[in-house]
Amino acid sequence: MTFEVIFVLLALLGMVVALVADKMRPGMILFSVVGLFLCVGILTPKEMLEGFSNKGMITVALLFLVSEGIRQSGTLGQVIKKLLPQGKTTVFKAQLRLLPSVAFISAFLNNTPVVVIFAPIIKHWAKSVKLPATKFLIPLSYVTILGGICTLIGTSTNLVVHGMVLEAGYEGFSMFELGKVGVFIAIAGIIYLFLFSKYLLPEARPDDAAVSEENIEEGEKLHRVEAVLGARFPGINKKLGDFNFQRHYGAVVKEIKTRSGQRYVENLNNVVLREGDTLVVMADDSFIPTWGESSVFVLLTNGNDPDASGKKKGWFALFLLIIMIVGATVGELPIVKETFPEVKLDMFFFVSITTIIMAWTNLFPARKYTKYISWDILITIACAFAISKAMVNSGVADCVAKFVIGLSHNYGPHVLLAILFIITNLFTELITNNAAAALSFPLALSIATQMGVDPTPFFVVICMAASASFSTPIGYQTNLIVQGIGNYKFTDFVRIGLPLNIITFLISVILIPMIWEF
């Protein structure tokens, strides 16, 4: 092996370890690795920066704003109110109304705002109809993931892989092309949740009595608030005792639910805070209005039914979303491409127009638009393109591909497809979905090239595997959100999520070669 191959492999190993250890934000870790490749000449400055101008990455950024416009319009709150049955019902009947609808919604919107809006409403509703919220919150997160794999814009991973496909000189995915296999996975996953979530998910875990509002002294006017820590919380990786939460936010921390599933009600000052941890605090009425729109916290809920009344512009926001989806779909038709050869009427075109209209009609505050974009995700995506390029330039992709092909040379591309799914899925459970796609894409391209087959099935399997993060709460942000609000343990995700990973694997490796031939 050459120096470049050894250097890149060691750098990638260090990157994975750093991501698992969670010492920095993923974007900064990937950017550091890219910087190393630049220093030793594996990447040129142009190659390092190409990801920051990639159409897929910019589309993801704009979709954050479109999702924010929909969220602030109140449309989603109105939808969930109509979906949830009132009065006496069962877990199965409620899931039957809820899960397919949420999967459909998440096929066109960013998963995180869907879960942020729906989770507290569902938790309050479950309490009112005397059903355990634990039977609904993990399924809520899972169906947003299942819905997201069905369209090009359903998850950032699909757009990242789409961008890499275009960079490699191949034709990218159309709006609903991934749905040819994604819909079957989503249907199978939802049926699995219908049949087994009642048995595999825990019964309701009551909130700790030490944090009950009954313990508040009369006249204090404080109430219980659950706050899920976001990426921009300034106390990340610090002990609570080293970060004066009360001085910063005017609230007192009474309990900490960590992302590993542990709960602390004593010795809180020694607990190290991580992104995705849930703090139970005693705060006054100003806490949620003050910090509700801040990126410091991903979710704030006080146990009351959130205002889902919506705004007057809700229908207009929904109209814009529909026009964006229909326009991007029709724009891919051959007759439209021939009629308008000078203008590429793709998703990037329509999401750009939609974002501009939403800004000028104040569907989201235009002066604050930067706060609604997850910059770490964008930096992660941009650096993912550079890391993929470094794997190609150094020869790592070819070396690993030869090794994998050598292990399974008697079994053909179907076995290699299965191996690629497993590798990508393991990465996405341990690190991030976009980083997993970045590591797997050059490997997929090299395998297909060396075997002389069409790489499209390998590209599609990366999309499915990188999104199928069900077995751990740390692999996907929506899992972290519902873990805290639902008081889930780490093992709850393993118990119900691992079979869903297997279902996704089996459907992918069977159907993908049938739809996209090698």
More reliable by pLDDT, 290 or 465: 465
Task: Region of 419 please: left (phi>0), alpha (psi -120 to 50) or beta.
Answer: alpha
Give the count of beta carbons closer than 10 Å to the beta carbon of residue 455: 20
pLDDT surpassing 80 at residue 304: no
Phi and psi of 368, rounded to 5°? -115, 20
Please answer whether residues 247 and 241 qualify as being in contact, where contact means their C-beta atoms are separated by less than 8 angstroms.
no
CA–CA distance, 165 with 385 (Å, rounded to integer): 11
Q: Tokens at residue 291, please?
A: 């910090």
More reliable by pLDDT, 150 or 219: 150
Mean pLDDT, the chain, whole residue set: 85
- 57-69 pLDDT, tens per residue? 898 889 889 888 8
Phi and psi of 84, rounded to 5°? -75, 125
CA–CA distance, 166 with 176 (Å, rounded to integer): 17
Band (218; pLDDT cuts 50, 70, 90)? very low
pLDDT surpassing 90 at residue 185: yes
Please answer whether residues 296 and 503 qualify as being in contact, where contact means their C-beta atoms are separated by less than 8 angstroms.
no
Q: Give residue 206's pLDDT.
A: 58
Please enumerate in sequence order all residues whose Cβ is within 8 A of that of 359, keeping only pairs 6 or more positions apart, or say none.
Answer: 65, 366, 369
Give the count of beta carbons closer than 10 Å to the beta carbon of residue 374: 20
CA–CA distance, 85 with 92 (Å, rounded to integer): 11
Give the count of beta carbons closer than 10 Å to the beta carbon of residue 376: 19
Please answer whether residues 454 and 471 qualify as being in contact, where contact means their C-beta atoms are separated by less than 8 angstroms.
no
Crossing angle of helices 3-21/375-394, nearest 10°?
160
CA–CA distance, 139 with 183 (Å, rounded to integer): 17
Which range of 12-26, 182-196, 324-338, 387-401 scores highest in mean pLDDT? It is 182-196
Q: Give residue 238's pLDDT.
A: 85
Band (483; pLDDT cuts 50, 70, 90)? confident
Q: Give residue 381's pLDDT.
A: 86
Say how far residue 180 (Cα) sits from the centre of its chain.
21
pLDDT surpassing 50 at residue 209: no
Q: Tokens at residue 35, please?
A: 């910087």
CA–CA distance, 108 with 79 (Å, rounded to integer): 15
Q: Tokens at residue 70, please?
A: 């929909």
- 438-456 pLDDT, tens per residue? 889 999 999 888 888 899 9
CA–CA distance, 199 with 492 (Å, rounded to integer): 11
Which range of 33-37, 162-166, 170-174, 315-319 scores highest in mean pLDDT? It is 33-37
- 385-394 pLDDT, tens per residue? 899 889 889 8
pTM of the predicted model, to two decimals? Answer: 0.83
Please enumerate in sequence order all residues whose Cβ is within 8 A of that of 229, keeping only pairs 6 or more positions apart, or say none.
Answer: 235, 236, 273, 274, 275, 276, 277, 278, 279, 296, 297, 298
CA distances to 123, 195, 297 from 134, rounded to whole Å, are 8, 15, 22
Max distance between CA atoms of the chain, in angstroms, equals: 76
- 336-375 pLDDT, tens per residue? 878 877 778 888 899 999 999 999 998 888 888 888 888 8
Q: What is the DSSP string of 261-293?
A: S-EESSSGGGPBP-TT-EEEEEE-TTHHHHHTT
Mean pLDDT for 204-221 is 54
CA–CA distance, 252 with 254 (Å, rounded to integer): 6
CA distances to 16, 58, 384, 514 from 29, rounded to whole Å, are 9, 21, 11, 38
Looking at residue 243, the DSSP 8-state letter turns out to be S
Q: Tokens at residue 264, please?
A: 């602390």
Whole-number percent of the chain with pLDDT over 90: 25
Please answer whether residues 150 and 107 qualify as being in contact, where contact means their C-beta atoms are separated by less than 8 angstroms.
yes
Handedness of CA 399, 163, 423, 512 (dihedral sign): negative
Phi and psi of 297, rounded to 5°? -120, 135
CA distances to 131, 407, 455 from 402, rounded to whole Å, are 53, 9, 15
Band (309; pLDDT cuts 50, 70, 90)? very low
* Amino acid (one-letter) located at 102: V
- 7-56 pLDDT, tens per residue? 999 998 998 888 877 777 888 889 999 999 999 999 999 989 988 888 88
Handedness of CA 474, 479, 480, 485 (dihedral sign): negative
* Amino acid (one-letter) located at 414: H
Domains of the chain (ranges; CATH) run 209-301 (3.30.70.1450)
